[in-house]
Amino acid sequence: MSFFKFSGIFLLMLTSLTACDRLGLPDPARDAAARESDARATGSACRHAGRAIEDCYALNPDAARSAVYAGWKEMNDYMRENKIDVVKPELAKSEAPKVEESGASASAKAPK
C-alpha cells in the first residue's frame, strides 16, 4: 500500500470521527458536567430566594448535594459582598376548582 493511500484513508477516518458528538452518542463526562452545573444553579437560586440549604436539599432530592451546597455558598458569598437582599418568591394564588355535586346528592335533590 502506498503512502498516499494510507494517509488518505487515515485522514478520512480522522475526519469522520471528529463529528461523533453529533451522532447522539452518550458522553458520560458531558452529562455529569451538565448535572453538576444544574445542581449549582439550583443551590444559587435557593439562596437567592432565601431558602435554607436543608430546604433546598428537600425540594431537589435528585440534585447532587455537594454541587447544591457549592452553588448555595457561592451565591451567599456574592450576596454578602454586594449587599443584595433576598428575593422572596411570590406565586399567584389560584382559586381552588369548584367541586361539582356528586350524583348521589344531585339525585337527592331531584323531585320524585
**Span 30-54, average pLDDT:** 92
Using one digit for the tens of pLDDT, what is the confidence trace for 54-89?
989 999 999 999 999 999 999 999 999 999 888 887
pLDDT above 60 for 16: yes
Rounded-to-integer distance, Cα 99 and Cα 60, Å? 32
Q: Band of the pLDDT at 105, cuts 50, 70, 90? A: low
pTM: 0.60
